[in-house]
């Protein structure tokens, strides 16, 4: 369903009226397209404190020209050297003059160090960066985003920096992303990084799953579109359009993992757990018949199939698992105790399994956590609840399925091996659980 309010605020009368009434004024977000694959303008590189990172080679490969001439598309502030309150002041000194000059749909990325438990002064000011970034994201407006990346190795963070400094991250803001030591491949082919790889997307026949399948195919993957037998025709249609194949089965079946492994004898590189359902009702009115299926589809099936595919060796070394959580699992939502529990469970799975899966199988495990995304499901939500969902984020609008898909594709990238155990919200910096 079209966002008529967003369209109205883009007109002169709409801008005038919403400004006078103090209503949200969302800016149309610039998303990736073949015609506009990158932001327009220059990249400013700033520092706070004494840094040891050599960012120049990585930033030069983002496609944005370094310098201060012309419009400013993005700012990268290296604050890894901030060690005390005095050097924390340099964050303000660096960004105060330039934050307002960033173009609409521009980017600010702050780089921080991992929290140091041996030095509580440094840990305090590095933690302070999170409050700073999230606050700036809520006030900066005009479709601009602000994110924090914690890292020790610039080269290991290349895929993350390229993603955050591109139109692909249009609906990702206020996030704190940890990047570990280098693990995986160099960045490689920017246009088709998944060429030669096989990706399976559960619930891929429609909605967000279909968008994920399309985006992975765009990036070169051979996509297997898995959905329930009732949706087999839709799954086949999507798969044929993308040059992939369809797999019809009930993901909640006890033998689903084994059947997937049998269907993919040559192995799998990317596993996307997207299938999910809702059965909303307040707890006092929720019978077991509404609780059980949600936990079975959204969480138990993910646990079972992941375990089976890892045990069978179906996921090849260098593989990627990306599961779908939700801000309902991170912040809670009235009427969704079942859904919130299942999606919080996904976050727990990711954080516990990620280090072991990487050490034992060479596979990373991450999750995306969508907020309000414009789908057929949200189009059926009552008007006032739908409008609240759209406006209650820093970008004052709903996201699109492609926003979740682009974030998934970044986590699935061969060069994203240093990103592991992360739950990344795709919510426009929702005010829920912010």
Q: Find, among 340, 338, 402, 342, the residue nearest to 375 by Cα.
A: 402
Using CB atoms within 10 A of its CB, is residue 230 exposed (0-12), middle (13-18) or buried (19+)? exposed
Question: For tokens 């399976």, what's the residue?
Answer: 200
Using CB atoms within 10 A of its CB, is residue 163 exposed (0-12), middle (13-18) or buried (19+)? buried
Q: At a CB cut-off of 8 Å and minimum separation 6, what does 262 contact?
A: none
Measure the CA dihedral 336/342/344/346, to 10°. -150
Based on the residue annotation, tell me whether 339 is a catalytic residue of this protein.
yes
**Residue 376 burial (CB count, 10 A):** 9
Which of these is catalytic: 5, 171, 187, 339? 339
User: What are the Cα distances from residue 206, in Å, to 82, 203, 325?
Assistant: 46, 7, 18
DSSP class of residue 159 equals: H
Q: Find, among 351, 370, 33, 51, the residue nearest to 208 by Cα.
A: 370
Q: At a CB cut-off of 8 Å and minimum separation 6, what does 256 contact?
A: 249, 250, 301, 304, 305, 308
Residues tagged active-site: 339
């Amino acid at each position: 369903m079209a966002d008529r309010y967003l369209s109205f605020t883009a007109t002169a009368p709409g801008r005038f009226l919403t400004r006078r009434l103090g209503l949200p004024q969302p800016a149309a977000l610039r998303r990736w397209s073949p015609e506009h694959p990158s932001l327009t303008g220059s990249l400013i590189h700033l520092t706070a404190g004494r840094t040891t990172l050599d960012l120049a080679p990585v930033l030069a490969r983002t496609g944005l020209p370094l310098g201060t001439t012309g419009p400013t598309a993005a700012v990268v502030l290296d604050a890894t050297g901030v060690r005390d309150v005095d050097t924390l002041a340099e964050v303000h000194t660096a960004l105060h003059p330039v934050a307002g000059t960033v173009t609409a749909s521009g980017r600010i990325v702050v780089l921080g160090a991992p929290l140091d438990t041996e030095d509580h002064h440094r840990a305090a000011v590095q933690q302070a960066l999170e409050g700073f970034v999230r606050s700036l994201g809520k006030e900066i407006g005009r479709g601009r985003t602000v994110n924090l990346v914690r890292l020790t190795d610039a080269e290991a963070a290349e895929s993350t920096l390229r993603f955050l400094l591109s139109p692909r991250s249009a609906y990702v803001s206020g996030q704190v992303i940890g990047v570990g030591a280098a693990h995986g491949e160099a960045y490689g082919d920017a246009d088709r990084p998944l060429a030669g790889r096989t990706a399976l997307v559960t619930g891929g026949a429609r909605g967000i799953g279909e968008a994920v399948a399309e985006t992975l195919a765009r990036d070169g993957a051979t996509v297997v579109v898995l959905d329930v037998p009732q949706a087999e025709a839709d799954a086949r249609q999507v798969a044929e359009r993308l040059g992939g194949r369809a797999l019809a089965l009930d993901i909640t079946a006890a033998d689903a993992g084994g059947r997937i492994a049998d269907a993919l004898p040559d192995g799998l590189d990317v596993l996307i757990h997207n299938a999910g359902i809702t059965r909303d009702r307040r707890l006092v009115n929720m019978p077991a018949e509404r609780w059980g299926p949600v936990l079975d589809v959204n969480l138990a099936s993910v646990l079972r199939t992941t375990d089976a595919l890892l045990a069978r060796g179906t996921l090849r070394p260098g593989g990627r698992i990306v599961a779908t959580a939700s801000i309902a699992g991170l912040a809670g939502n009235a009427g969704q105790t079942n859904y919130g529990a299942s999606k919080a469970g996904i976050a727990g799975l990711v954080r516990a399994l990620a280090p072991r899966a990487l050490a034992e199988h060479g596979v990373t495990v991450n999750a995306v956590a969508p907020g309000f995304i414009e789908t057929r499901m949200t189009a059926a939500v009552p008007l006032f609840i739908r409008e609240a969902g759209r406006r209650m984020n820093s970008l004052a609008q709903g996201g699109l399925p492609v926003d979740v898909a682009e974030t998934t594709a970044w986590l699935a990238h061969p060069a994203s091996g240093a990103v592991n155990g992360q739950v990344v919200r795709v919510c426009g910096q929702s005010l829920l659980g912010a």
